[in-house]
Amino acid sequence: MLPYNSPASSEEVSGIFYENRTIMSISGVQEKFSLVLEKNKLRLAKAGECGDYLLKPIPTLGKNRHWMPANEHLTMQIAKQVFQIETAENGIVFFQNGEMAYLTKRFDRDETGLKRGKEDFAVLANRTPQTNGANYKYEGNYLELFQILQQYVPAYATEAAKLFKIILFNYLFSNGDAHLKKFSLIETSDGDFVLSPAYDLLNSQLHIAENDFALQGGLYPKAQYQGKLMNQFIHLGKLAQIPVKMVERLLAQMLTNSDLVERLIRSSFLDETGQKSYYQAYQGRLKRLKFT
Say what the pLDDT of residue 41 is: 85
Q: Measuring CA to CA, which residue among 137, 131, 135, 198 is closest to residue 168? A: 198
Within this chain, do residues 136 and 276 fall inside the same structural domain, yes or no?
yes
Within this chain, do residues 165 and 99 fall inside the same structural domain, yes or no?
no
Say what the pLDDT of residue 209 is: 82
Say what the pLDDT of residue 285 is: 96
Q: What is the pTM of this model?
A: 0.88
What domain range is 33 assigned to? 10-105
Q: Which residues of the chain have pLDDT under 70?
A: 1-29
Within this chain, do residues 213 and 100 fall inside the same structural domain, yes or no?
no
Within this chain, do residues 61 and 152 fall inside the same structural domain, yes or no?
no
**Chosen domain end from 72, 105, 138:** 105
* Rounded CA separation 80/76 (Å): 6
Within this chain, do residues 79 and 188 fall inside the same structural domain, yes or no?
no
Within-domain flag for 87: yes
Within this chain, do residues 212 and 247 fall inside the same structural domain, yes or no?
yes
Within-domain flag for 3: no
Say what the pLDDT of residue 26 is: 61
Within this chain, do residues 155 and 82 fall inside the same structural domain, yes or no?
no
Within this chain, do residues 285 and 262 fall inside the same structural domain, yes or no?
yes
